[in-house]
Structures are given as C-alpha cells and as structure tokens.
C-alpha cells in the first residue's frame, strides 16, 4: 500500500538555474583514481617512517 | 600506478557502455545510475558526463544538465561536445529564463503539495507539464496527487507519459501498478497473459474438425435482420451515445479549463497593472512633492529678489529711510544662496557705511530743524543698523538729555564710557554726564 504523504515528502526541489554556480562548487569530483593515489601516498609515508625507525634501532644496537 | 589507472579507465568505460545501452532503450534512470558509476571510476570520462547531462536535459532537469556540461568543459576543454550543448541552450532566446521560471514554479508547487495545499499544487503542476511535457519529476508528482485524490485515469495518463520518456522509472512503475489495481486493469492483464501462455502444444495426431454449416431459411433470415437492427440500435445507445456525451463533456471541461486559464492570466495581468499603477503613483507623488517644494523655493527666491531690488531702488533714488526700514525687515536666511547672497552683501556694504552715515546726518538735520521726535527716530534707525557706533549713540543721548530724559541719556553715556573708552566720544560723554 502506497503512503502518498511519504512519497510526496520524498520529492526534492529541482536545482534552479540561478544556483548552478553553487552546485558546481559543491560537486564532489573525487574518483577512484584520486582515492588510489591518496592510498599509495599514505602507504609510502608509512613505509618511510618504518624504515627510519628501523635504521635508528640498528644504530642504537651497534652503539 | 599506471596499471591501476588503466584498470579504472576500463571499468569506467564499461559502465559508460552499459549506460549508453540503457539510454538507447529509453531507460533514463538506469542509464543515469550507470553513468554516475562510470564517473566515480574516472571523472575524466567526458562522454559519460556529457550523456549524463543529456539525460538530465531529457528528464527536464536543465540546471543539472548545465552543471554536468560546465564541469565536463572545465575538465576537458579541447573539442568537447558539451561546448555545443551549452551553445545550443544559450542560443535559443529566452530559453534559460523560461526554464528558470518553470523550475521555480515546480518548487513552489512541491512546497504546496508538501504543506497541505494539494489543490493549488495540482493546478500549478498541470500548467507546468503543459509548458514542459518532458518534466519527469513534475509528472510523477502530478500522478501521485491524482492518485491521492482518486483520479486514477488521469494519474495513469501522466504515468504513461513518464514511462514513454523513462521506461523503467521505478516510482512510475510502482504507481502504475497501483493505478492498474484500482482500475481492474491488473486483473485483465493477468488473465490475458495466462491465456497467452496456457495453450496446449498440439500433437501430430491431433485433428481439427471443421464446424458443420447449416443453410438459413427465409424466416430465419428476416429474424436475423430484425435482431441485427435491434442490436445495432442497442449498440448505438450503449456505446456511441455515451461516447458522444463524454466527448461533449470533455469539450465543455476543456472550455472551462481554458476560461479558467484565461481568468488566471487576466488576474495576473490585473495584479501586474495594479503594481505598475502603484509604482507610477509613487513616482507621481514624488514628482508632485518635488514640484511643490521647487515652487515654494522659487516663490521665496522671487520674493527676496523683489525685496532686495526694492531696497536698492529706494537707496538709489535717495530714500535712505525707506531703504533702511526695508533692510531691517528682510529675512537673511532666504538669501543664503547665489545670486541673492551677493546682492545682500552689496546692500550690507552700502547700508553699514554711507546709508548709516546719511541716517545720522538726517537725524542731526532734523534736530537742528527742531524736529526732535523725527531726529530720535532717525538715530534709532541708524543704531538699528549699527548699534555699536559711539557717535550715533552720543548724539541720541544728547538729544534725550535736551528733552530732560536724563535717565535714558545717562544709560547711553554709560555704555559709551564703559564699552568705547578709546573713542573721542567717551570723554564727551563723561563731561555730559557730569563726571
């Protein structure tokens, strides 16, 4: 059974021509490529940190 | 990284191809979902973004279409089809203004529908879909409102239009099912489908026997003719008359709707004219006020100009007493602007010097002639022009003294002695006072 009030309430106003600039500014253009790049960068930073801490541990032991 | 990039592009292209396929089958909602996924994998998939814009445009969402084409052109400015689409929309005169007006009207109708004014929303939505037949969202809302109001056939018609444009629109399909249930159409379709797929497959041994045909007698023929005519009449009364009546009703309803629309247009025109009238009234009132202020200002100017001219005339003709009397009565604030201020400055210069001296001399002449009262008036007039002149003060005091008005004379002598001690008349005043 359709609940008409709910269905009508679900309708969203249409974008008005005057609000186009705002809509473009709010658009989320992030794609999977951007996400992948971010993940790779994070992974690279983590591994360089780990390398640095490993080198410092070895130096401590040698001393 | 390059491998990932290639892979993402491939996935994006695959989604674009699926979206294109759906769009070609008039499944706009399905196509738009797939194209959005394509752009999630690769935002530079220009074809997908342009097609998404086209789909929005086809569904009546012009602003959303423009957003996609503008983004597309920004991401890929070289030889982009979006440039052509944007030009097409902007080339048609007034198209953007018209689209903006329709969208605004729809948003108002939606607000009315969501806040209990369904009847107003229905009227507005009917106008909107008449102006913009492909506005899917407006047609869906209209169908919902019709269904809620129990107008199932109209709801069905609106939904048919939606499904013509967007074959698999989910809400349209759900609402159409409801329409079919309410009108009994669902049962009819179900039976038709059952019949269509319920035929037994014929075996090779099955034989179709032709039905035996009997010859009719003359009586039977006449009877058949009578039955045929009766059935024809019955069909005419049952089918054609109601249809004609319905068509008359539809025509009458259309006329009513047309009149109602004309009435609305006339009302709108009346409101517009009323607003214009009010605005013009305001402009007129403002202009009238300005004119009145200007006339008042002009009258004051003319009056002052006449007064100053009269003073100058009297002075020029040697009537210094009249000139001085008028000079003392003028309202200086009215002569604050050019050319009146220059005229007044000139008259000031004459009156404070030659005019003043002439009045004192005339006073003395009158005194010498025995006209004591006139002499006092002339001294008073001179002192009204310059109350600080010791000579005029002294002469007036002496005149009063000669009339035994000692107290008044002494008061003036005291002023000369106290306020003008450097003046030669101070010593004379002291002598006259008896110090």
In this structure, what CATH number is given to the domain that contains residue B33? 1.25.40.10
Cα angle B388, B389, B390; round to 5: 110
In a domain, B374, yes or no: yes
The answer on B413 and B378 residing in a single domain is yes
- Partners of A35 on chain B (C-beta within 8 Å) are none
In a domain, B137, yes or no: yes
The answer on B131 and B169 residing in a single domain is yes
First-to-last alpha carbon distance for chain B, in angstroms, is 121
- CB-closest option in B61, B63, B141 to A8: B141
Statement: residue B1 has pLDDT above 60: no
Choose one of B55, B70, B91: the last residue of a domain: B91
pLDDT tens, position by position, B145-170: 999 999 999 999 999 999 999 999 99
The answer on B13 and B45 residing in a single domain is yes
In a domain, B141, yes or no: yes
Alpha-helix runs per DSSP H in B317-371:
320-329, 340-350, 356-368
Does residue B107 sit at the A interface (CB-CB below 8 Å)? yes
In a domain, B279, yes or no: no
The answer on B103 and B75 residing in a single domain is no
* B336-341: long-range contacts, CB 8 A cutoff, minimum separation 24: B340/B301, B340/B304, B340/B305, B340/B308
Better-scored residue on pLDDT, B197 or B30: B30
Contact B107 A27 (CB under 8 A): no
Does residue B175 sit at the A interface (CB-CB below 8 Å)? yes
Cα of B126 to nearest chain A Cα, Å: 16
Contact B141 A11 (CB under 8 A): yes
Using CA of residue B163, residue B169, residue B171, residue B175, what is the dihedral sign?
positive
Residue of A nearest to B74 (CA): A24
**Can you give the pLDDT at residue B241?**
76
- Partners of B113 on chain A (C-beta within 8 Å) are 8, 11
Contact A2 B67 (CB under 8 A): no
Residue of A nearest to B116 (CA): A5
The answer on B354 and B330 residing in a single domain is yes
To test the contact with chain B by mutation, choose from A5, A24, A29, A31 the residue with the greatest count of B C-beta atoms within 10 A, namely A31
* Percentage of chain B modeled with pLDDT above 70: 94
Contact A19 B63 (CB under 8 A): yes
**CA pair distance B365, B100, nearest whole angstrom:** 93
DSSP reduced 3-state for B52? helix
**Can you give the pLDDT at residue B42?**
92
- Partners of B106 on chain A (C-beta within 8 Å) are 13-14
Statement: residue B199 has pLDDT above 70: no
**Can you give the pLDDT at residue B198?**
62
The answer on B399 and B337 residing in a single domain is yes
The answer on B124 and B87 residing in a single domain is no
Decide: B225 and B233 in contact? Cβ < 8 Å. Answer: no
The answer on B327 and B383 residing in a single domain is yes
Choose one of B138, B155, B185: the last residue of a domain: B185
**CA pair distance B288, B202, nearest whole angstrom:** 99
**3-state DSSP percent of chain B in helix, strand and coil, to 5:** 80, 0, 20
Nearby residues of B34 by Cβ (< 8 Å), 6 or more positions away: B15, B16, B18, B19, B22
- CB-closest option in A7, A13, A24 to B107: A13
Does residue B144 sit at the A interface (CB-CB below 8 Å)? yes
Count of structural domains, chain B: 3
In a domain, B52, yes or no: yes
- Partners of B171 on chain A (C-beta within 8 Å) are 7
The answer on B427 and B353 residing in a single domain is yes
On the CB side of B78, how many CA atoms lie within 13 Å of its CA? Answer: 1
In a domain, B225, yes or no: no
pLDDT tens, position by position, B17-32: 999 999 999 999 999 9
**CA pair distance B214, B96, nearest whole angstrom:** 73
Better-scored residue on pLDDT, B294 or B115: B115
Query: What is the arithmetic mean of pLDDT over B338-343?
Result: 80
**Can you give the pLDDT at residue B2?**
59
Contact A36 B110 (CB under 8 A): no
In a domain, B61, yes or no: yes
Choose one of B123, B150, B185: the last residue of a domain: B185
Domain ranges, residue B331 = 323-433
Nearby residues of B43 by Cβ (< 8 Å), 6 or more positions away: A29, A30, A31, A33, A34, B49, B75
ipTM, two decimals, is 0.80
The answer on B105 and B8 residing in a single domain is no
pLDDT tens, position by position, B296-331: 777 777 888 888 888 888 888 888 888 888 888 888
Q: Per-residue confidence at A62, pLDDT binned at 50, 70, 90?
A: low
Decide: B137 and B61 in contact? Cβ < 8 Å. Answer: yes
- Partners of A30 on chain B (C-beta within 8 Å) are 43
In a domain, B36, yes or no: yes
Q: Per-residue confidence at B197, pLDDT binned at 50, 70, 90?
A: low
The answer on B340 and B427 residing in a single domain is yes
The answer on B405 and B351 residing in a single domain is yes
- CB-closest option in A8, A31, A37 to B144: A8
**Can you give the pLDDT at residue B43?**
92
Q: Which two tokens stand for residue B246?
A: 């319905």
């Amino acid at each position: 059974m359709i609940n008409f009030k709910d269905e009508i309430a679900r309708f969203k106003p249409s974008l008005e021509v005057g609000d186009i600039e705002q809509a473009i500014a709010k658009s989320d253009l992030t794609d999977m490529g951007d996400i992948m790049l971010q993940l790779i960068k994070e992974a690279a930073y983590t591994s360089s940190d780990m390398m640095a801490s490993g080198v410092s541990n070895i130096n401590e032991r040698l001393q | 990284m390059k491998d990932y990039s290639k892979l993402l592009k491939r996935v994006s292209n695959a989604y674009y191809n699926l979206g294109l396929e759906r769009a070609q089958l008039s499944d706009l909602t399905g196509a738009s979902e797939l194209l959005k996924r394509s752009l999630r994998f690769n935002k530079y998939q220009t074809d997908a973004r342009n097609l998404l814009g086209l789909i929005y445009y086809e569904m009546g969402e012009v602003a959303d279409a423009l957003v996609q084409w503008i983004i597309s052109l920004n991401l890929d400015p070289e030889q982009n089809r979006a440039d052509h689409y944007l030009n097409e929309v902007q080339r048609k005169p007034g198209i953007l203004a018209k689209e903006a007006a329709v969208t605004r009207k729809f948003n108002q109708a939606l607000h009315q529908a969501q806040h209990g004014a369904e009847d107003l929303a229905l009227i507005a939505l009917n106008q909107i879909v008449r102006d913009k037949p492909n506005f899917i969202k407006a047609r869906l809302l209209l169908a919902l409102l019709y269904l809620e109001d129990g107008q199932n056939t109209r709801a069905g018609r609106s939904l048919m239009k939606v499904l013509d444009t967007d074959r698999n629109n989910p809400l349209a399909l759900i609402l159409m099912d409801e329409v079919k249930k309410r009108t009994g159409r669902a049962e009819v379709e179900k039976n038709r489908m059952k019949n269509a797929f319920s035929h037994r497959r014929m075996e090779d041994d099955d034989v179709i026997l032709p039905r035996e045909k009997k010859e009719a007698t003359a009586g039977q023929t006449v009877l058949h003719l009578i039955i045929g005519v009766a059935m024809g009449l019955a069909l005419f009364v049952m089918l054609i008359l109601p249809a004609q009546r319905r068509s008359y009703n539809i025509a009458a309803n259309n006329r009513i709707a047309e009149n109602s629309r004309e009435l609305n247009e006339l009302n709108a025109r009346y409101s517009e004219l009323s607003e214009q009238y009010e605005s013009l009234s305001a402009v007129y009132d403002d202009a009238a006020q300005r004119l009145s202020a200007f006339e008042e200002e002009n009258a004051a100017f003319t009056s002052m100009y006449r007064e100053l001219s009269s003073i100058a005339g009297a002075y020029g003709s040697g009537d210094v007493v009249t000139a001085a009397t008028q000079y003392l009565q003028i309202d200086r604030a009215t002569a604050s602007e050019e050319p009146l201020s220059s005229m007044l400055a000139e008259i000031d210069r004459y009156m404070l010097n030659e005019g003043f001296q002439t009045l004192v001399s005339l006073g003395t002449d009158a005194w010498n002639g025995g006209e004591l009262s006139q002499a006092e008036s002339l001294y008073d007039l001179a002192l009204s022009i310059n109350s600080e002149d010791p000579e005029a003060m002294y002469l007036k005091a002496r005149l009063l003294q000669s009339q035994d008005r000692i107290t008044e004379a002494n008061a003036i002598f005291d002023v000369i002695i106290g306020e003008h001690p450097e003046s030669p008349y101070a010593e004379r005043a002291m002598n006259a006072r008896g110090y």
